[in-house]
A and B are shown apart, each in its own frame.
Chain A
Amino acid sequence: MMTPVVEEPSNESWLRGAFQTYESRLIHYARQFVGDWETARDVAQDSFLKLCQQDRGKVGDPPGAWLYRVTRNRALDILRHRKRHPHQPAETAEDFFPQPAPGNTAHDDRLALVWETLEKLPEQQREVVRLKFLHGLSYKEIRQVTGLSESNIGFIIHTAVRTLRGRLQGKQP
């Protein structure tokens, strides 16, 4: 009797799938650190090139956490280098994304409050919150990217959510 064979995707199509899934996200992620899109694209490209040379077994499947980690380390390298070479000023990060229209609806107000809250969070909390809500990473993946413990991550995210809740309650009459 023949057993149906489930074929593993070839290495190339696996890499291609990874690229398709993470291309846009990694560019966004890198830009949070480096500030400009040009460098962010370069960093993302380098992460994918590096992925191509890695043993798939070591990377893990899906490779999201690995890619985020490599991108993060690379971006931090660039920032360190910029700090050592202040004569090469970084391009100022420009916020390309539309700001919320002021006071359209109550719901928009509350979204604006989320962004405001986010901006006031300490940087570490902000990074973890972004990884969770913007990039959709699990606690475990965030641990792999940042090196923070999972319980620490859980605490950080909980604190951020609680802060927002407090501000929402403060707004209510």
Chain B
Amino acid sequence: MKTIEDDPRITAYLLNELPPRERAAFERELEDDPALARAIEEFRESASLFNEALPHEAAQLGLSLAQRERILRAASGQPDPTHAPSRPGWAITPFSPAWGWAGTLMLLGLGAWIWFAAEMLVPEQSAARGTYKYADGTPPDAPAMAMADAAVVPPPEEENLPPATEDMLRSGAVVATPEGGSANEIAEIAPADVIAAQSASSFAVPPAASPPLATAVPRPQPERRASSAPAGSGTAGSGVALSGYKDSGYRYDFDQRRAEAGNEAYASIPHHGFRRVTDAASATSTFGADVDTAAYANVRRFLQDGQLPPKDAVRIEELLNNFTYAYPAPKGREPFAASVEAASAPWAPQHRLVRIGIRARDIPPSARPPMSLVFLVDVSGSMNSPAKLPLVQKSLRLLTQGLREQDRVALVTYAGASRVALDSTSDKRAILAAIDGLGAGGSTNGEGGIRMAYQIARSHFIDGGANRVILCTDGDFNVGTTGRDDLIALIEHHRASGVFLSVYGFGMGNLKEATLEQLANKGNGAYGYIDSYAEAQKTFVQNLAGTLVTVAKDVKFQVEFNPARVAAWRLLGYENRLLAREDFNDDTKDAGEVGAGHTVTVLYEIVPVGTEVPAAADAHRYLEEKQKSKIRNQKSDGELLFLKVRHKLPDGDESRLQTFPVADAGGTWEKASPDFQFASSVAAFGMLLRESPYAGTADWDLVQRLARAGKGEDPQGHRAEFLRLIELARSLGPEPR
């Protein structure tokens, strides 16, 4: 029997879907029929609940910049060279085999798109909706096929495309992992080349062998600048597309293929050139340790997205420190050991490359101090994207699973307002439930959240334990009216009382890398970028102790070069970690922290005396003479350099000094250790991506050769992944100079 409730006009009326005439008729019926009017009221709630549960503006997703760029080109009527003419309407998608050269055509007319992308990436600031659910996770095949049968749609005219396109869609940028066959040949290490040093131990200095003299040194060129329009200038639609076009064979300036990353902000990194050794100051290099690895995950994200990372997103020290090296572990209760190795520089064989390796003491889970953690999670609207809040939840779940009974966790969320989602507890089930209950919505008020997090950390402080606030955000850290300086003062204040701050960036498009890294540095903590579940596992499972337990703080390096052997030197990376020479002995100067089991790798490229110094470092007419006379009076002229390391214990205020004299046996890189070769590969990779004028003869073949030779056992597959990134970078990447 048909009832009033079967009338579909009820819902159509509520949804304003009735055509005007029907609507008028329906309203007349309504007036006469109280039962129908009642039904309307009953249905109204259900209809509006559907509306509310399925918000129209779900998490804002975007295409990759490369995809957007192709669409812009097509929209502006430019021919798409990647377009396959035999399949009208369907073009080759990114990562197809043609992508390598197609990529050279991509980022034309970027100016307008930067503006456009930035507009679109502005996070949704709509009022908090609480949690909601979207795609319902149905198995993709069965129900949708049923739908295909049910719906009889004449395909649009050009829809008859061969299913082969699907193969192109799915043929991702997967490159076969090369098996390290050559590793064995090169893995033989001349022991004399490796100097492992324990704290303050002295060791024999091998007889000095003159490094080969240079024949020609590549002259560093001034850095090329992009000729593309500045961001924000291209808001008008026309005339932006082909500004960099050159007729001859589709070659574009490399910069135009580089990702311009929406709202992401990176501090600019200068290229540090060679410094000529003329006096004590210029023979000394001082900097703070950095074990952050965020740049690696970030670079990987760009490459896997088919884009070259912005140059300033490539931090060589963070790429280097992403990998674990087999440096000798410290003995006894020493917090760390140092080891040094020197060989020829693979990209400039007339130069020497010195690798300093620091390995911090590892702490087994049973010996870890008890931890009191406060998870501070950004749940603002912009976090509502697959790579953000859901990945935060997964990461924190992983971390929680590694905790023990004596560890405590509290959970604070912040959006428009801050909220204690879970007071400090050691009940793992409660922690996991609170993590699962996180939902995104609202604007960002980071300052309120961080104050609340510190408050909880203070009230659950564990003496002698690891007390830490762990901030998870996509980077839009609004510090409120009081500004950044106050926030930093707050972080420094709590650092002094033993509550450290670690910062993890998630997602893309909104990342304020410089800000986040600065906050973590001030908080004696690590800054990490989590782009994937695998990276979360690496950070929160494999390196959990290193992430949470600091074994040494304010770790500083000072290297004194022997003017008898070193004509000029340069430090690779660590550009934003440099310290003044006198800061080394100043215990009030903050520097980097090293967590349990961490390794820190430092590379110096050295121009030996007797070799032409690259033009970046001009000779000093008078000091040169003075130096030469000084050299004749040098005592320990067998030494290449003298390494000094200072650190404090996590709860200490006074630093301890360790020193390591270092000699160079004069070996070549081909005979160096696998770790030396692998680190060289990572450094050269970074230099090519940064288009460093000091990359010398480095090209992608060399990078690959070094990485293969140095791959070693690679139990976790991190080095194999790096080999795949090399392939990606090569296919997108700059031609070496």
Contact = CB atoms under 8 A, between A and B. Distances in A.
A49 B393 contact: no
Contacts of A84: 163
Given A77-B161, A93-B140, A114-B53, A48 B71 contact: yes
Contacts of B10: 158
A62 interface: no
B378 to A, nearest CB: 13
A31 B135 contact: yes
Contact of A27 (B43, B52, B63, B80): B63
Nearest to B436: A99
Interface in A120-173: 123-124, 126-127, 129-130, 132-136, 138-139, 145-148, 151, 154-155, 157-162, 164-165, 168
Among B17, B130, B133, the one with the most A-chain Cβ atoms within 10 Å of its Cβ is B133
A120 to B, nearest CB: 11
Interface residues of A, number: 97
A16 to B, nearest CB: 6
B652 interface: no
A97 B133 contact: yes
Interface string B51-91: 11111111111111001101110111100100000001111
B116 to A, nearest CB: 7
A144 to B, nearest CB: 9
A95 B169 CA distance: 22
Given A73-B155, A77-B166, A155-B8, A53 B89 contact: yes
B80 A49 contact: yes
Interface in B115-167: 116, 119-120, 130-141, 143-148, 150-156, 158-159, 161, 163, 166
A161 B47 contact: yes
By DSSP majority rule, is chain A's interface helix, strand, loop, or mixed?
helix
Interface stretch (B437-445, B566-574, B703-711): B437-445
A39 B170 contact: yes
Interface string A62-80: 0000100110111111111
Contacts of A158: 7-8, 10-12
Interface in B220-251: 237-238
Interface string A8-52: 001111011001100110011001111101110111111011101
B312 interface: no
B110 to A, nearest CB: 14
A43 B139 CA distance: 18
Contacts of B119: 20
B390 interface: yes
B45 interface: yes
B237 A147 contact: no
A35 B64 CA distance: 18
A130 B131 CA distance: 17
Contacts of B94: 42
A79 B148 contact: yes
Nearest to B9: A154
Contact of B77 (A12, A39, A73): A12
B436 A42 contact: no
B46 interface: yes
A151 B737 CA distance: 66
B8 A80 contact: no
B5 interface: yes
B25 to A, nearest CB: 15
Contacts of B56: 133-136
A76 B56 CA distance: 23
Contacts of B141: 79, 82-83, 90
Nearest to B153: A147
A8 B155 CA distance: 30
A98 interface: yes
Contacts of A168: 45-46, 49
A80 B56 CA distance: 28
B15 interface: yes
Interface residues of B, number: 97
Contacts of A101: 131, 436-437, 439
A69 B436 CA distance: 36
B112 to A, nearest CB: 9
Contacts of A99: 131, 133, 436
A45 B140 contact: no
Contacts of B88: 53
B93 interface: yes
A61 interface: no
A140 to B, nearest CB: 9
Contact of B159 (A52, A73, A133): A73
A139 to B, nearest CB: 5
Contacts of A133: 50-51, 53-54, 56
A52 to B, nearest CB: 4
B588 to A, nearest CB: 45
B46 A79 contact: no
B117 to A, nearest CB: 10
B191 interface: no
A70 to B, nearest CB: 6
Nearest to A41: B63
Contacts of B77: 11-12
Nearest to B113: A16
Given A133-B51, A133-B56, 12 more contacts: A19-B68, A24-B61, A28-B135, A46-B90, A78-B166, A79-B140, A96-B135, A96-B386, A97-B133, A154-B12, A154-B17, A157-B8
Interface of B: 5, 7-12, 14-15, 17, 42-43, 45-47, 49-64, 67-68, 70-72, 74-77, 80, 88-91, 93-94, 116, 119-120, 130-141, 143-148, 150-156, 158-159, 161, 163, 166, 169-170, 172, 237-238, 384-386, 389-390, 393, 433, 436-440
Interface of A: 10-13, 15-16, 19-20, 23-24, 27-28, 31-35, 37-39, 41-46, 48-50, 52-53, 66, 69-70, 72-84, 88, 90, 92-102, 104, 108, 110-111, 114-115, 118-119, 123-124, 126-127, 129-130, 132-136, 138-139, 145-148, 151, 154-155, 157-162, 164-165, 168
12 contacts: A19-B68, A24-B57, A24-B62, A41-B67, A75-B144, A79-B144, A95-B136, A95-B137, A99-B133, A100-B130, A104-B437, A111-B53
